[in-house]
């Protein structure tokens, strides 16, 4: 969700000041599909270029063709996206019109049902993409675009753009959620080492509590307040715990409701989250007791690390965008992140989110744009501009614009990692963006046990 509220699942920045700047920008609500000349759209292509066009010869030439792309990606981030394909567009002759909207989720349905769909759309949620396939609106990947997608992305990432065995979506941008933020200098001063297993993480929490525990200083800080989306950071935390407690196969069954929402393994996963979030010796550094988590804005909680009130904060890579200007983010800086460990050092479950490109048109020009955006060349061009990372296997970590983004790419490209998409964004909206959020908020607030909260979510499943 952006601000981070309404685009959490598709947060493609994964860090950097870009996200903060993007919040100040705005574009029109009209997605612009099927009608050129929208004053809010960004068009590129067909003009002079200093690029080496030999790099784009394999995509063909399409003088006079226009490809319209709709997305949620506005402001500075949207401008960077448009810059990423400018040379490709100029060399191929394709005019690419990008039409962003903060009302994408509802507007895209209005357009396609009215026969006015864009050629391409960037979906922040696999569930929305799947609904478009169910409505017979999207075109399957074919030819060079399909070959590029299969060559450059892992099965884990591709699976969330695949519906009933047919590939529709390309995971062009991503973020990693399985991170713990900390102060490298404070860890060094205290002789603390980065934990590599869950037991080591809990032992470190105990050590910090023994060394520094007080009414104002605790091992952990956390917050789940996010306006109308309050509760989502708790669901992220729990999803990470399901991957560690029950494993990826059970996670898939749970997300798809093949097992009850309150299956004993899932209850145990929430209780594992509670070992931290409901432990008064562990939380909530610089803020209050464990119940204060329910009313603390999620990003504000992490800022307590900079004030030496807490030592650890679980949050996605895009938390970097919430840090004050001038904060030194890196392994020797004011703040950095480490991978949230699993039960063993060899296990690497990874909670992810990302944006998927999919097509409503199968025109040759549209397919050429798809093929280019599935390539390592596009991924590296976009990363070099700044503020995002790609799960493309050909992504060059040196092109990333921050240490956190390089750490994210390392996890994306770790062959031992098992990636799973944010579960709440794969569930029916009345659960994933409804009862799941609200019941975990009640659980955090001490109104319900883990079993009671999850039983209520189970009862709400449509």
Decide if 10 contacts 353 (C-beta within 8 A): yes
Ranges of beta strands (E only) in 360-446 are 417-421
Element (H, E) at 353: strand 348-359
| pLDDT for res 19 | 34
Structure tokens at 164: 């009933």
Structure tokens at 354: 């990302």
| pLDDT for res 44 | 65
| pLDDT for res 51 | 78
Candidates 372, 357, 361, 364; CA nearest to 89 is 372
CA distances (Å), origin 161, targets 131, 137, 156, 418: 12, 14, 10, 17
Report pLDDT digits (tens) over 29-88: 333 333 333 334 456 665 555 678 999 999 999 999 999 999 999 999 999 999 999 999
CA distances (Å), origin 355, targets 18, 54, 71, 214: 17, 29, 9, 42
Provide the whole-model pTM.
0.88
CB burial class (10 A; 0-12, 13-18, 19+) of residue 37? exposed
Report the distance separating Cα 4 and Cα 321, nearest Å: 10
| pLDDT for res 7 | 35
| pLDDT for res 428 | 94
Residues of the chain with pLDDT under 50: 1-41
User: In a 3-state reduction of DSSP, which class is residue 2?
Assistant: strand
| pLDDT for res 49 | 59
Candidates 438, 433, 442; CA nearest to 462 is 433
| Phi and psi, residue 219, nearest 5° | -65, -35
* Sequence spans of domains, the chain: 18-176+353-421, 179-315+427-460
CA distances (Å), origin 201, targets 123, 312, 353, 373, 444: 35, 10, 24, 39, 21
Query: CA-based angle 267:268:269, to the nearest 5?
Result: 90
- DSSP structural state of residue 255: H
Structure tokens at 218: 């605790």
| Phi and psi, residue 90, nearest 5° | -65, -40
Candidates 190, 191, 152, 145; CA nearest to 168 is 145
Classify 18-176+353-421 by CATH class: alpha beta
CA distances (Å), origin 396, targets 151, 307, 415, 417: 16, 34, 16, 18
What CATH number belongs to 179-315+427-460? Answer: 3.40.190.10
């Amino acid at each position: 969700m952006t601000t981070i509220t309404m685009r959490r699942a598709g947060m493609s920045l994964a860090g950097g000041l870009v996200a903060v700047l993007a919040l100040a920008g705005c574009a029109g609500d009209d997605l612009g599909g099927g009608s050129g000349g929208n004053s809010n759209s960004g068009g590129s292509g067909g003009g002079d270029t200093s690029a080496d066009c030999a790099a784009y010869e394999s995509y063909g030439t399409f003088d006079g063709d226009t490809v319209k792309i709709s997305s949620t990606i506005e402001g500075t981030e949207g401008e960077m996206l448009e810059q990423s394909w400018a040379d490709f567009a100029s060399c191929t002759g394709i005019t690419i019109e990008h039409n962003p909207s903060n009302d994408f989720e509802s507007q895209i349905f209005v357009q396609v049902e009215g026969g006015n769909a864009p050629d391409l759309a960037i979906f922040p949620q696999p569930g929305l993409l799947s609904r478009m396939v169910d409505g017979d609106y999207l075109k399957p990947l074919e030819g060079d675009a399909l070959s590029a997608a299969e060559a450059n992305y892992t099965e884990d990432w591709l699976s969330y753009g695949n519906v009933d065995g047919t590939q529709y979506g390309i995971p062009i941008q991503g973020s990693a959620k399985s991170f713990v933020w900390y102060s490298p200098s404070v860890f060094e001063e205290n002789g603390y080492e980065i934990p590599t297993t869950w037991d080591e993480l809990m032992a470190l929490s105990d050590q910090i509590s023994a060394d520094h525990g007080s009414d104002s200083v605790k091992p952990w800080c956390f917050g789940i307040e996010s306006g109308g989306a309050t509760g989502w950071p708790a669901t992220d935390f729990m999803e990470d715990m399901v991957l560690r407690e029950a494993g990826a196969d059970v996670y898939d069954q749970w997300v798809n409701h093949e097992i009850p929402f309150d299956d004993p393994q899932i209850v145990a996963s929430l209780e594992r989250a509670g070992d931290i979030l409901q432990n008064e010796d562990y939380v909530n550094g610089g803020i209050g007791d464990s119940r204060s988590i329910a009313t603390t804005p999620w990003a504000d909680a992490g800022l307590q690390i900079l004030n030496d009130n807490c030592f650890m904060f679980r949050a996605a890579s895009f938390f970097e965008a919430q840090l004050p200007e001038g904060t030194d983010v890196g392994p020797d800086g004011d703040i950095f992140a480490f991978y949230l460990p699993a039960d063993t050092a060899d296990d690497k479950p990874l909670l992810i989110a990302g944006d998927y490109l999919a097509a409503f048109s199968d025109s040759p020009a549209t397919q050429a744009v798809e093929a280019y955006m599935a390539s390592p060349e596009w991924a590296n061009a976009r990363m070099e501009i700044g503020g995002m990372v790609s799960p493309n296997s050909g992504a060059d970590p040196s092109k990333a614009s921050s240490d956190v983004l390089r750490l994210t790419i390392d996890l994306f490209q770790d062959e031992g990692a098992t990636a799973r998409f944010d579960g709440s964004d794969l569930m029916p909206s009345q659960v994933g963006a409804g009862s799941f959020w609200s019941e975990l908020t009640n659980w955090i607030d001490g109104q319900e046990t883990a079993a009671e909260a999850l039983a209520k979510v189970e009862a709400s499943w449509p």
